[in-house]
Amino acid sequence: MAINYTKEDLLRVSNMASDLKESIILGGVLPYMDITYDGGPLIPLTDKRPWHYVDVYESLGIDRNAEYRFLEIGNRWCGALWGWRIYLPNSKIYGLDIDPETQKFSNNNPDIGVKVYEGDQTNTQLLKQIHKEAGGLDVIVDDGGHTMTQINTTFQTLWPLLNDGGVYIIEDLQCCYWPNHEGGLKEPNSSIELIKSLFDNIHACYYKSENKIKSARAKHKISHEPSNYFDKSVSSVHVYDSIAVIYKNIKPTLVPTSLEGNFTQEVHLSQEICEQSNMNLFLKPEEKNHYKKLFNNAVNSFPKK
Ligand SMILES: C[S@@+](CC[C@H](N)C(=O)[O-])C[C@H]1O[C@@H](n2cnc3c(N)ncnc32)[C@H](O)[C@@H]1O
C-alpha cells in the first residue's frame, strides 16, 4: 500500500506536535498506519528512545518553519524520519539506508513525505549524488551502521558538501569504544579521535604560520602546514553522552576570534595587532580609550623596580 499524504495532512499532523518529541512519537506511527495498521496497538517505529538526543536536537535552535534540506543516514522503519517530516513541514526530508525493507516506509517524496535512498553510507558516489539531487544539505544526521569506517567516511565526504551555516550530528558514539565497531579507547581510527581532532582545526589560527598574527607564544611549535578545509570550516563542536553536534561556518581566512595574549599584559600589543590585521575587537573608539587609560593606570600603580 502506498503512503499517500497531502500537504494538508502533513500540516494538520505537524500542528498537532508541539515539539520534537511529540513529532517523533507521531512520526513513528504515521508510515505504519498507512502500510500495516490492522487496528492493533500502535508502536512507534523508531529507536530514537534516548530522549536526551531529543533534548540535544531541541537545543540546536532549529526553526520549525524553515526550508531545510535534511538528511538522516540510517532509517530502519523511517519512524524518526517521519518525525522530522512532521517537525519540519516546510523542509525537504531525505534518508539513506542499506536495508531495502526501509523503502516500504518511504513515499519517495521529500516535499510532503520522505525520500529514502537505498545504499551504503560508505558509497561516496552515492553520498555526492544525494547531495546533488537534494540541491544542498543543511542538516545531516548519521545514525547508520556506526562502525568507525562508516562514520569517518561519511563525515569526510559529506562535511565539505554541507551548506555553510549547516549542522552535522553523529549519534551513538558509544560505539567508538567498542572493538566490534572498529573502536576502542584512543584507537587512532576511532571517530571520537576524529571529533577530538576538530578541536585543533578550530584553533588552527593560533599555531599555523600562514596566520597574519604570528603567535609569539607558539614560537617553536608553529606549524608551517597550510590550513586545510576543516581548519576553515569547523566553527564549533559539542559532545554529549553518545552524540556530537558539529557546526559549520566557512572562514575565508584564519582569523582568531579571541586575543592572542593575556589581556592585562598584552592589551596594547593585541590592540595594535588587531588593528593591523583588521581583527575586530568590537570596541568603539571611546571604549578603546577607556581601556587604554585603565590599563595605563593599572601599570602605573605597580611599584617601579
Ligand atoms: C539505529 S538504526 C536507525 C534508526 C533510526 N534512525 C531511528 O532513529 O529510528 C540503523 C540503521 O542503519 C542502517 N545501516 C546499517 N549499516 C548501514 C550502511 N552501511 N549504510 C546505510 N545504512 C546502514 C540499518 O539498516 C538500520 O536501518
Q: Are residues 78 and 193 in the same domain?
A: yes
User: 7-10 long-range contacts, Cβ below 8 Å, gap at least 24?
Assistant: 7/111, 7/112, 9/112, 10/85, 10/86, 10/89, 10/112, 10/113
pLDDT at residue number 265? 43
Domain assignment of residue 12, yes or no:
yes
Domain assignment of residue 257, yes or no:
no
C-alpha cell at 86: 512532521
Report in angstroms the alpha-carbon separations of 41 from 29, 198, 251: 10, 45, 51
Q: Are residues 187 and 278 in the same domain?
A: no
Q: CA-based Rg of the chain, rounded to a whole angstrom?
A: 24
Report in angstroms the alpha-carbon separations of 263 from 4, 32, 68, 222, 259: 62, 60, 41, 22, 7
How far apart, in whole angstroms, are the C-alpha atoms of residue 35 and residue 108?
14
With the CA atoms of 98, 101, 102 and 108 taken in that order, what torsion angle do they form, in degrees rounded to the nearest 10?
110
Domain assignment of residue 213, yes or no:
yes
Domain assignment of residue 275, yes or no:
yes
Pocket lining: 27 vs ligand 1, CB cutoff 6 Å? no
The protein residue with its alpha carbon nearest to ligand 1, atom 5, reads 75
CA 146–ligand 1 middle distance (angstroms)? 8
Q: Are residues 129 and 271 in the same domain?
A: no
CA 1–ligand 1 middle distance (angstroms)? 23
CA 170–ligand 1 middle distance (angstroms)? 12
Q: Which atom of ligand 1 is nearest to the CA of 72?
A: 6
Domain assignment of residue 1, yes or no:
no
The protein residue with its alpha carbon nearest to ligand 1, atom 8, reads 48
Q: Are residues 276 and 187 in the same domain?
A: no
Give the DSSP letter string of 251-263.
-SS---SS-SS-H
Are 247 and 236 a contacting pair, CB within 8 Å? yes
Q: Are residues 114 and 168 in the same domain?
A: yes
**Residue 272 domain boundaries:** 263-300
Pocket lining: 63 vs ligand 1, CB cutoff 6 Å? no
How far apart, in whole angstroms, are the C-alpha atoms of residue 237 and residue 230?
12
Show which of 248, 274, 289 is a domain's final residue. 248
CA 143–ligand 1 middle distance (angstroms)? 6
Domain assignment of residue 62, yes or no:
yes
Q: Are residues 54 and 197 in the same domain?
A: yes
Pocket lining: 142 vs ligand 1, CB cutoff 6 Å? no
With residue 198 as reference, give the H or E element that holds it: helix 191-202
pLDDT at residue number 262? 47
Q: Into how many domains does the chain fold? A: 2
Q: Are residues 210 and 269 in the same domain?
A: no
Chain segment 35-63, per-residue pLDDT in tens: 555 565 555 667 665 678 999 999 999 99
Show which of 224, 248, 272 is a domain's final residue. 248
Q: Are residues 278 and 145 in the same domain?
A: no
Domain assignment of residue 146, yes or no:
yes
Calculate ∠ Cα 16-96-238, nearest 5°.
75
CA 48–ligand 1 middle distance (angstroms)? 12
Q: Are residues 142 and 56 in the same domain?
A: yes
Looking at residue 37, which CATH number applies to its domain? 3.40.50.150
Domain assignment of residue 99, yes or no:
yes
CA 302–ligand 1 middle distance (angstroms)? 64
Q: Are residues 267 and 234 in the same domain?
A: no
Q: Are residues 100 and 197 in the same domain?
A: yes
Q: Are residues 212 and 274 in the same domain?
A: no
Give the chain's residues under pLDDT 50: 1-2, 261-266
Chain segment 206-259, per-residue pLDDT in tens: 888 777 655 556 667 788 889 999 999 999 999 999 999 999 999 888 877 765
Q: Which atom of ligand 1 is nearest to the CA of 120?
A: 20
